[in-house]
Structure 1
């Protein structure tokens, strides 16, 4: 290697013989300025070197991230001008020790032929870096594709696994038998906790005090019951049956009447029309049959209102459609047939259709005959007896199957009934102009929806003025003064303006019945019995009686009266399922307050019922026959008092000494003849050899 020496001008001897690149090493004074890098001044960097730097920058940018974010290899970068260098990375390739050492090193490489020209180095480095860059980019794309492919495969596996897991769960839920430890044997089969729920539509609480229901009265003596159960407002069939099935007030579950308008859906609910009542959007909450089926307890539903609607995908295992003409013995056969099915652990049981743990049966007969003939008619007496005979057949069937101490039986009703009369009719047109209203909901209550909502205040005021002369009606605004105890305001399906008649009164429009003309002609108003009034009125009281292993109380236990929102929890607890959220608070075990036979127990109440008019026959006074009447059974049917808002009750234990009776003469004689016939039948059956109990045909 040639040696060089610097002259005073800073140039080596013989500098003229150096190449251009070599000459530039001595064109600047010696300095420690960091503008030099790798033996070359930064200000004089050639194009090839700039290419190398840019290639390096691009490669560094791909392998790291900007702004101090960790790169692929966990290193951070900082920005210096346009170039990024790794912090804490490898050290610089050369430490600057001075211009002469750098120059000697560079010249040594060039003279020995080890180094290449700057353009050659730049080109080779650039091509190499580009190849590495392309390789790195290709690898990253390949890696990304592999990751995406793996993620897609794993996601598909997870989704498929979730589907299979859900399917297995559904199969296990539908097929899982009840735990044997919870089951009881009747000698031939194991029974899970089982309850029969029977609803006697329209069975008024004081029907129990007419000496017409020996089976129900014995049932009370062996079970637990209050003096009565309160319905919910309005006291009509569909809202109350769905309240008993859900534990929710009508305003909460949405079935706010037998007929009503939904302003959001712009549809009308009409209880007797399947096309306007069986769609699931009408039915809110969770009914018993859904709660039970969701928890692997099979259900059989016999004509219960709402059970035919597909409220959720959990459907009862057995559903019987409504048939108002079905004879009561057939209902007994159906209930016993469901109990005779194989249990979940028996051989031959169908996977989804074993014996149901809950059997809910609806009996419409008392209600239909109460409407047709009135709650104090001769006909209703026979209907009450028939309902009682049906219960006797059910209890006898349980005894024959050794199920009396295994199966719970709960008997309820949804509301009572009040007698109507042409003298207690109110003409709607005397209160409001029907043409001002778009929809009229409910009955015998009237829920009014004005054609123009802005007219609501004026129509309300007009109605209040008219009602001052009609004390038999009450007027309420849904959003202003509806009684809180009604729980009948928090749903837009409830009309904004209401006319509520008092018990025994009815509001009619002229297209239905012209009151003035009807009175002149002596017409009889139908229906002869009505309900739907204030749910706390004594004539609207319902019944609740329960007996079975879920009710381990002293026989003839008495509890405080309660509202029918409590029934849902009671039935759920009786078969061991968890109820859905609801408005009820009672849970099993029930808490008796005493016995029905305790001296402090209030006597049986027979509330006064509005009397029927005498028609063309004169009203007579039966003072001379009071002793004869008092000696007959069915005294409550023959004795009636004048109409009161909340009448003072009479009691079966202390009838009045003298009672003025206002009753149709023919009807009174019919009642007495009926009583005489019963006495003769009892005498023949009990005292005449070969005499047998007369079979009673159920009333339809």
Structure 2
């Protein structure tokens, strides 16, 4: 290595100086690094800012040079050619140092102000404040308005804050989703636990009939107007066999009033009429200012009338398909829930078609079908089928519960059930499908001698609305007249033991459960079974007795629900009823039907007035020697006529007798004309004579029918009165 290089190296080495002396090489590297840092930060700065920064670096370097000892500085300056007068240099040096100190102090002051401005700017930005000075400030912030670097940093901070906000929102969304998912899982676990609990009451496993799999399935059939003692007439072999195979009470009690719509909806909801709101076939609602009338579709099909939760709503809400065949209330869109299958009411539908409809529902694809879950609900097999059969009630009203015609109707209904059971057996479903057969009420025979004229009982000019029938609910025009009207009716019926007078809020029998609803009229006239109250414009009782008119309908219901003539039936068989054949349970009211049907297919019932749950608890067999027998109640006795009524009856009977004698005479003459010695002309006219004979015989039969009516205490051949049923 050349001598000059070695000397330079030696002079520049740190080991030639004091321990406290700075390393010139490191100083140089430090300066270069700071310059590089400044070069890296040039982006976004003005040329003036760059120049100012360079001066600061150089002056800082000069200040660092003052720390080098004088002897070493001389060597360094000698190496780099630093000659000149020392005094002048000292003077200049002191002046320069003074200037540098002043400039340094000025720069530091500016830096402090700039940093303070940036700090305040950052504070305003974090707080969402303004980015430009307000008019209230004494001078604008030049660092905000003019510095490109500050604006860049401000933009970076904004981006960082926006990113932080997005991150926070994203995390919150994730946490919320986790919480919601956890809640859904908890709810699913809760529902699963409830389903498991219900499944202990009714077998939930799918049962196979050899070709399909069936979950718990129940068919509920209602025979409207089928009185319990109809089973004692020897007309119902199918129903009697069904009882022997299943479980049933001696009879089932309807609810008060014992009419069709309130009782069918009670069986569907498990609630008393006062609770579900259908308090009669007809009634007035003070809130709606409207009348409910069961045969008026525009009224009866509005969901506002129907409270509670019927079976089909309970089922559909729990994912169980339902099929409803003409059940009262099923077309009312209750709760906004529609049955999967619903058949509109058709009073003329033949019984065979009802059997076909029920079996068609059972034949629909079930859960074993590959595409079951993707099918529309009205294509899926229902687990709950409700079928309504009105014909017994219809003929009971038209002909009376003891008529020849009703006997044939009872046989026809029994044959219908036979075909249904045969259809289930052909499908190998007798032991897989539950069948429950019920009725809603019984029937009592009417008579013109058991009628009361409403106008004879109360001042109808003070009545605004009348509800119900054959019992009557009265709504006074002025509520202040209620007490006086009650006293008036009580006075006018004091000699008639066949009627009861009640105030809804005072003395209505508790067992009726018929007071806790404003739809129930405040004053009620309740006749005994077989009696009826009529308005004069519908049927004039005195004129009817005088003219021998017959009152229609010939059968009625709606009376005290505990009267023997009002008794209904309940019979059940199937896997949900694993009892001994012919089992007997205690008599119960039809508020229990809802819970029983729900349990039979594993549904969780809605709140209701029922208390029975499956399995039922038998108290013995119907065949046990100590089992009481179902009696056959007699019709109410004919009312003892007053002298005026007796005179009218005798006159009518005389007219009937004369008509019968005349018919007999004409028939005899007609028969004598048809002797074996008839001429050939007569023989040639044989066809027309046969028609004539048939006509006369029909006339004679009509007269004999009237005579039979008179023998029963019914006077005459004309009929008036109510034609409604239900």
Check 1:160–1:612 CA distance in 2 against 1; reply closer, same or farther (3 A cut): farther
**In 1, are the aligned partners of 2:220 and 2:437 still within 8 Å (CA)?**
yes
2:123 alignment partner, one of 128, 131, 136: 136
Displacement of 1:411: 0.4
Could you tell me which residue of structure 1 aligns to residue 560 of structure 2?
534
Q: What is the distance in 1 between the residues matched to 2:204 and 2:480?
A: 64
Could you tell me which residue of structure 1 aligns to residue 441 of structure 2?
415
1:256 alignment partner, one of 268, 279, 303: 279
2:708 alignment partner, one of 643, 650, 666: 666
**In 2, are the aligned partners of 1:617 and 1:664 still within 8 Å (CA)?**
no
Could you tell me which residue of structure 2 aligns to residue 695 of structure 1?
none
Residue 221 of structure 1 aligns to a residue whose secondary structure is helix
Could you tell me which residue of structure 2 aligns to residue 387 of structure 1?
413
Residue 265 of structure 2 aligns to a residue whose secondary structure is helix
1:191 alignment partner, one of 203, 208, 214: 214
Q: Under a length normalisation based on structure 1, what TM-score does the superposition of the two structures give? A: 0.67
For structure 1, list consecutive stretches of 5 or more residues without a partner in the other structure: 1-108, 619-662, 671-700
Q: What is the distance in 1 between the residues matched to 2:117 and 2:484?
A: 87
Q: What is the distance in 2 between the residues matched to 1:334 and 1:481?
A: 47
Check 1:139–1:477 CA distance in 2 against 1; reply closer, same or farther (3 A cut): same
User: For 1:78-101, what per-residue CA distance to the aligned partner results, in whole angstroms no more than 9, with x for missing partners?
Assistant: xxxxxxxxxxxxxxxxxxxxxxxx
Could you tell me which residue of structure 2 aligns to residue 512 of structure 1?
538
User: For 1:269-301, what per-residue CA distance to the aligned partner results, in whole angstroms no more than 9, with x for missing partners?
Assistant: 111111101111111111111111111211111
Displacement of 1:326: 0.1
2:622 alignment partner, one of 596, 599, 605: 596
Between structure 1 and structure 2, the one with the greater Rg is 2
Q: What is the distance in 1 between the residues matched to 2:441 and 2:371?
A: 42
Displacement of 1:467: 2.4
Alignment map for 1:405-444 (pairs within 5 Å)? 405-444=431-470
State how many pairs are aligned: 507
**In 1, are the aligned partners of 2:204 and 2:216 still within 8 Å (CA)?**
no
Q: What is the distance in 2 between the residues matched to 1:200 and 1:140?
A: 78
Check 1:422–1:151 CA distance in 2 against 1; reply closer, same or farther (3 A cut): farther
Q: What is the distance in 1 between the residues matched to 2:165 and 2:475?
A: 61
RMSD, aligned α-carbons? 3.4
Displacement of 1:152: 7.2
Residue 121 of structure 2 aligns to a residue whose secondary structure is helix
Q: Kindly indicate whether residue 259 of structure 2 is the aligned counterpart of residue 236 of structure 1.
A: yes
**In 1, are the aligned partners of 2:204 and 2:215 still within 8 Å (CA)?**
no
Residue 511 of structure 1 aligns to a residue whose secondary structure is coil
Check 1:665–1:550 CA distance in 2 against 1; reply closer, same or farther (3 A cut): farther
Displacement of 1:473: 1.5
The structure whose residues are more often helix, as a share, is 2
Displacement of 1:536: 0.4
1:326 alignment partner, one of 346, 349, 359: 349
**In 1, are the aligned partners of 2:450 and 2:638 still within 8 Å (CA)?**
no
Displacement of 1:200: 0.2
**In 2, are the aligned partners of 1:205 and 1:542 still within 8 Å (CA)?**
yes
Q: What is the distance in 1 between the residues matched to 2:440 and 2:165?
A: 63
Q: What is the distance in 2 between the residues matched to 1:244 and 1:511?
A: 35
**In 1, are the aligned partners of 2:453 and 2:540 still within 8 Å (CA)?**
yes
User: For 1:65-124, what per-residue CA distance to the aligned partner results, in whole angstroms no more than 9, with x for missing partners?
Assistant: xxxxxxxxxxxxxxxxxxxxxxxxxxxxxxxxxxxxxxxxxxxx9xx869979xx97x99
Could you tell me which residue of structure 2 aligns to residue 23 of structure 1?
none
Check 1:154–1:299 CA distance in 2 against 1; reply closer, same or farther (3 A cut): farther
Q: What is the distance in 2 between the residues matched to 1:315 and 1:447?
A: 33
User: Which range moves more in the overlay, 447-456 or 132-141?
Assistant: 132-141
Residue 341 of structure 1 aligns to a residue whose secondary structure is coil
User: For 1:550-589, what per-residue CA distance to the aligned partner results, in whole angstroms no more than 9, with x for missing partners?
Assistant: 1111111111110000001111111111111111111111
Displacement of 1:465: 2.0
Check 1:518–1:593 CA distance in 2 against 1; reply closer, same or farther (3 A cut): same
User: Which range moves more in the overlay, 297-306 or 594-603?
Assistant: 594-603
Could you tell me which residue of structure 1 aligns to residue 472 of structure 2?
446
Displacement of 1:617: 4.8
